[in-house]
């Protein structure tokens, strides 16, 4: 697109023009690419926290119009945001991706704890119940703890092989069965 007006018209008048369709992104790599830089994440975060019109977002984020609209285009193509009455909103899919981004942020802030758990776990000499106690003690974030203790984690798989857990046990039951607490 050569100018911002033409671009904005193309981006937001799709519903008014049935012959023109936005090419949707449909792979994980496409969605991750749409949020792959700090400016795109800032736009997504700003829209998630409080929907605002374009002018406010551009000035608050200190972006040029071109930076803003090119990133906005990618977010729309990825199906993460939509515009309604001059305001931007997260789509249902966008809410899920934004939630995953928040989880990644919390994992980054807990990365030293996660590295400690990994280094303790690789020794191979630690009984499963002790490993679970360490996770429960070190990790404060409930969602990260649930991920570490989930069915897809290596830890519960070991416990299930020891016939302590069934695949249907939730996180609390897994911890209780493995530790006796």
Based on the fold, state whether residues 132 and 165 are members of the same structural domain: yes
Q: Which domain holds residue 96?
A: 4-102
> Among 81, 102, 123, which residue terminates a domain?
102
Two tokens, residue 65: 């119009």
Query: Nearest-CA neighbor of 52 among 95, 4, 88, 103?
Result: 88
Task: Please state the pTM of the whole predicted model.
Answer: 0.68
Structural domains of the chain, count: 2
What is the residue-level pLDDT of the chain in tens, covering all 181 positions? 444 454 444 454 444 443 344 556 668 888 999 999 999 999 999 999 887 667 777 888 888 999 999 999 999 999 999 888 878 889 999 999 999 999 999 999 999 999 988 888 766 677 878 888 888 889 999 999 888 887 545 554 444 444 454 555 555 565 555 545 5
Query: CATH number for the domain including 29?
Result: 1.10.10.10
> Among 75, 102, 129, which residue terminates a domain?
102
Q: How far is CA 139 from CA 41, 75, 109, 114, in A?
A: 26, 33, 11, 8
Based on the fold, state whether residues 41 and 94 are members of the same structural domain: yes
Residue 109: CB partners within 8 Å, gap ≥ 6?
A: none
- CA dist., res. 64 & res. 137, Å (int): 46
Three-state SS at 11: helix
Residue that has been written with the tokens 């930076």 in this structure: 67
Based on the fold, state whether residues 11 and 92 are members of the same structural domain: yes
Based on the fold, state whether residues 16 and 81 are members of the same structural domain: yes
Based on the fold, state whether residues 83 and 126 are members of the same structural domain: no
């Amino acid at each position: 697109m050569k100018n911002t007006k033409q671009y904005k018209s193309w981006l937001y008048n799709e519903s008014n023009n049935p012959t023109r369709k936005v090419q949707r992104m449909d792979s994980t790599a496409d969605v991750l690419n749409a949020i792959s830089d700090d400016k795109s994440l800032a736009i997504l975060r700003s829209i998630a926290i409080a929907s605002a019109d374009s002018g406010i977002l551009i000035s608050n984020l200190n972006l040029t119009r071109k930076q803003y609209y090119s990133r906005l285009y990618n977010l729309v193509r990825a199906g993460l945001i939509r515009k309604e009455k001059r305001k931007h909103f997260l789509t249902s899919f966008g809410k899920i991706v934004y939630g995953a981004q928040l989880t990644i942020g919390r994992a980054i802030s807990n990365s030293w704890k996660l590295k400690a758990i990994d280094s303790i776990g690789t020794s191979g000499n630690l009984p499963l119940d002790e490993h679970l106690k360490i996770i429960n003690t070190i990790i404060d974030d409930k969602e990260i703890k649930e991920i570490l203790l989930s069915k897809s984690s290596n830890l519960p798989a070991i416990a299930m092989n020891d016939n302590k857990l069934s695949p249907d046990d939730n996180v609390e039951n897994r911890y209780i069965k493995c530790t006796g607490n």
